[in-house]
Amino acid sequence: MNDILPEASSTFRYLESVVQGIVASYGYSEIRLPLLEHTELFKRSIGEVTDIVEKEMYTFLDRNGESLTLRPEATAGMVRAGMTNGLFHNQKQKLWTSGPMFRYEKPQQGRYRQFYQFDVEAIGYEGPDIDAELIIMSARMWQQLGISKIELEINSLGTPEARASYRDALIEYFTSVKNQLDEDSIRRLEQNPLRILDSKNPGMQAIVEAAPVMLDYLDEESATHFSGLRALLDAAGVTYTVNPRLVRGLDYYSRTVFEWVTDALGSQGAVCSGGRYDGLVQKLGGRETTAIGWAMGIERFVALYEACGGEVPTSDADVYIAALGSGTLERAFRLAEELRDTISGIKVEMNLGGGSFKSQMKRADKSGAEFALILGEQELTDGCIGVKPMRSAGEQTNVALEELAATLEQKLR
């Protein structure tokens, strides 16, 4: 679990704000959810025989003896919240949320035990139009931020019935190569053979490659749904490859699944992943409800943005106010507030803790400020202030206090 220090935080905040702006422009609303849910919720939604539920959850008993789990992902909580609050009752919802998720994984570059996700869900839409919108919306993020090293993979998992016959074919195939399977896969063979396709074990790749593919087992309606999605993506100019082995690590998916992957970040290549989960609401005790969503790992998003040469707008101060001599500090404080009142968004840093002229100028330099504003006793008497350019050549000038805001507004533009 990482501390996200100020410099990294400013990149997080910047990218999050860009993404929030984009999803808002598509009409998605924010929902804020608890970090803890009943363990049962994740077992039932994600599925018992998955990496997350088998070995990645932080689960504990509370003082009342109830089993609770730190959320490993957002969809289950989103659906639980929608059901608890009647949000899916005869209405559609387009929602987003973001925050920390927790998984007991082996920490490494791009894989952490507390990580951040940005999560979008659309509930009550059948698609494939919404499937396309969600993908187009994610494509816009890369485009707007100049991220080029990313590719889209899509697949369809069909209906649960179609998947059942695919499951039989997989069991037959994997049984025939059982002596080459690893321990995890043998355990999953009977219960959840689809999970074997999601294996991260390099030694399993050749066997997985040769397995039957879902697209050959797709039911007709899902096939139509899938080609509808492809047509909309084609029309929107979003390029993709169909990856018939993309199954995703959670049990609740049906029909559309997709993943944005990059090879710019080493082995942790999945940046943004999602899919349709039409059966989940019902599985959790609600009515039959269609749903689809995606989740993006913010750490990987940040790393990819940086790998593509992305920069973050500076968080440096605009002006640094130095106060020297008796009575100047009070006036300087008032001035700082006046500037914040009049110039929208200006970053004003006050010199705190006194100090000589030299040490105050040193701090002004370190703040990154464009200008140091120097208020000494003489300036106070004359009703003016010294304006010293810190980043460009040019002389210090004296500006009347009542003209300062207007002058700075001009200079900082």
Count of alpha carbons within 13 angstroms of residue 87, beta-carbon side: 19
Q: Which residues of 236-262 are buried (b: 16+ CB within 10 A; e: fewer)?
A: eebebeebbebbbbbbbbbbbbbbbbb
Binding residue (CB under 6 A) for ligand ATP from 117, 199, 254, 367: 117
Least distance between ligand ATP and beta carbon 271 (Å): 5
From 162, 134, 143, select the one nearest 273 (Cα to Cα): 134
Binding residue (CB under 6 A) for ligand ATP from 82, 128, 297, 386: 297
Both structure tokens of 16: 């999050």
Toward ligand ATP, which CB reaches closer, 273 or 351? 273
Residue in the shown chain whose Cβ atom is closest to ligand ATP: 297
Residue 201 touches ligand ATP, criterion: CB under 6 A: no
Calculate the CA 24 to chain-centre distance.
15
Binding residue (CB under 6 A) for ligand ATP from 16, 41, 54, 111: 111
Tell me the site size for ligand ATP, rule CB under 6 A: 18
Contacting range for ligand ATP; rule: CB under 6 A; set: 60-68, 121-129, 294-302, 404-412: 294-302
**CA distances for 209 relative to 177, 243, 267, angstroms:** 13, 11, 18
Site string for ligand ATP, 53-82 (x = CB under 6 A): --------------------x---------
Residue 273 touches ligand ATP, criterion: CB under 6 A: yes
> How far apart, in whole angstroms, are the C-alpha atoms of residue 242 and residue 258?
9
Least distance between ligand ATP and beta carbon 210 (Å): 21
Site string for ligand ATP, 242-271 (x = CB under 6 A): -------x------------------x-xx
Toward ligand ATP, which CB reaches closer, 303 or 343? 303
Contact yes or no for 253/224 (Cβ under 8 A)? no
Binding residue (CB under 6 A) for ligand ATP from 16, 54, 105, 306: 105
- Residue located via tokens 């499951």: 167
Contacting range for ligand ATP; rule: CB under 6 A; set: 110-118, 124-132, 168-176, 378-386: 110-118
> How far apart, in whole angstroms, are the C-alpha atoms of residue 116 and residue 306?
17
> How far apart, in whole angstroms, are the C-alpha atoms of residue 151 and residue 153?
7
Toward ligand ATP, which CB reaches closer, 117 or 155? 117
Least distance between ligand ATP and beta carbon 85 (Å): 24
Binding residue (CB under 6 A) for ligand ATP from 44, 71, 94, 103: 103
End-to-end alpha-carbon separation of the chain, Å? 41
Least distance between ligand ATP and beta carbon 75 (Å): 9
Toward ligand ATP, which CB reaches closer, 253 or 371? 253
Toward ligand ATP, which CB reaches closer, 108 or 143? 108
Toward ligand ATP, which CB reaches closer, 69 or 367? 69
- Element at 175 (helix H, strand E): helix 160-176
Both structure tokens of 214: 């879902």
Residue 115 touches ligand ATP, criterion: CB under 6 A: yes
DSSP assignment of 115-134 equals EEEEEEEEES---SHHHHHH
Residues of this chain, 301-320, that bind ligand ATP according to CB under 6 A:
none
Residue 295 touches ligand ATP, criterion: CB under 6 A: yes
Toward ligand ATP, which CB reaches closer, 262 or 328? 262
Strands (E), 212-253: 241-242
Binding residue (CB under 6 A) for ligand ATP from 299, 318, 370, 379: 299
Contacting range for ligand ATP; rule: CB under 6 A; set: 108-116, 146-154, 159-167, 346-354: 108-116
Site residues (vs ligand ATP, CB under 6 A): 73, 103, 105, 110-112, 115, 117, 249, 268, 270-273, 295, 297, 299-300
